[in-house]
A = this chain, B = another copy of it.
Amino acid sequence: MNIMQKPIAESRSGTLGKKLYQPYIDAKWGLKNHWYPAFFSNEFAEGEFKATTICAEPILIRREDGKVYAVEDRCLHRGVKMSIKPHCFKKGTVTCWYHGFTYGLDDGQLKTIVAAPDDPLIGTVSIKVYPVAEKYGMIFVFVGDADYPTPPLEEDLPKPLSKDYRYYAPNLTDDNVINLGIRRPGDANWRLAVENGFDPGHVLIHMKSPYVYASNFKVQLGSKPISDRALRFFEEPNSPKGVMNVLGPDENGDVHYERVYENKELGLKSKGAIERPAPNTSMWLPGVLRVENFPKQGLNLYEWYVPTTEDKYEYWELISFPYSNEEEKAEAIDRFENYYKEAVFFGFNNDDLWARDAMQPFYENGVGFDEEKLGTMDAVIVNWRKLVSRHARGIQGPPKELGRRR
């Protein structure tokens, strides 16, 4: 087993390290040209309009004849949000409540103006249109440049676990899987949320979680990389880009992360009896976490940290439940709604919410990136920052409304 010297050394060298991930430091407003979840499918009835904000872009979404459309939620005319009172007077269009500017949902083009049907603007100007993919129980939106060729959604999701994998559990993209989850806002920059998500050193905050007591898991005090194979990188072309904490033993039974169960200096020891064999965690562009075999063997948990504005993100949590018939599906829903949602998403993950918010003041003016003191356990965070810097399809700039202020 080699000592993973390079990433660890770099992780402590703020100045050196930062040069290699300056694009990440600049990505306050998010990564552009990526797919983000906007809504759960079941939040949208036929004919409904809803608004959201992703990477500081206001987006209006509508389901019509089953299909979902997403357009810029900002009328070209006077810049108002159409979602305040969206009108649909004709299929395939949205009309702004203010002066009747009417846009095609599929191309964003100005089709007519209610009281000026012969205005020369008609047919010559457009609002932005967002590619939409409704899959896996969610509505995904591609937030990017108008001329950017849309990649498959699956390139922005965690690389599926192979069925050959010893600790395989169903992927969110698998057939006969139902993805059940929640989403809620958090008050931190999206990068802090991501970094907390798969940080192998932050377990301390979960030590006293009801779910830990209930499950009798033997939770480590934290984990630290002890080999240069502790991190596995996924960087093949046309494939999801991610970095994995190989927290459990690998295919050969080799161990690359030491799970620390005791700190003698402080007289601390982990409680619990059940050791989890393959608790690998991995983070994928543009900020999607997979926790393998959690909350229990055979189930994977996924999280997104979708940039809203510079200091807000949308926290998505879901679990992929396999089923082979309707009865099992109903059973999964029942178990999710009445157990996992409360115990794992609220009981356990709630502590992550405030932990992320707690970092925000230190990082919000960029000071944290200069002054933080990262340790050995942070190798994955440093390497994630570099991975993003290498593979992000673009760095989002500030929202249009801020103009010259930035």
Contact = CB atoms under 8 A, between A and B. Distances in A.
Interface of A: 12, 74, 76-81, 84, 89-90, 93, 95, 97-100, 102, 111-117, 119-121, 125, 199, 201-205, 220-224, 260, 263-268, 354-355, 358-359, 361-368, 370-377, 400-405
A263 B125 contact: no
Contacts of A80: 355, 358-359, 362
A203 to B, nearest CB: 7
Contacts of A102: 265-266
A222 B117 CA distance: 11
A202 B99 contact: yes
A9 to B, nearest CB: 9
A377 B98 contact: no
A266 B373 contact: no
B266 A376 contact: no
Given A97-B205, A376-B119, A377-B99, A114 B266 contact: yes
Q: For the complex of A and B, list the 8 residue pairs with the smallest distance between their C-beta atoms, beginning with the closest.
A: A115-B222, A79-B362, A367-B403, A89-B266, A80-B358, A115-B260, A365-B403, A112-B265
A405 B365 contact: yes
22 contacts: A12-B120, A76-B372, A78-B372, A80-B359, A80-B362, A95-B266, A99-B222, A99-B375, A100-B222, A112-B263, A112-B265, A112-B266, A113-B222, A113-B377, A114-B204, A115-B204, A116-B222, A116-B224, A117-B260, A120-B376, A121-B373, A121-B375
Contact of A375 (B74, B113, B359): B113
A375 B117 CA distance: 11
Contacts of A355: 80, 98
B84 A358 contact: yes
Nearest to A77: B373
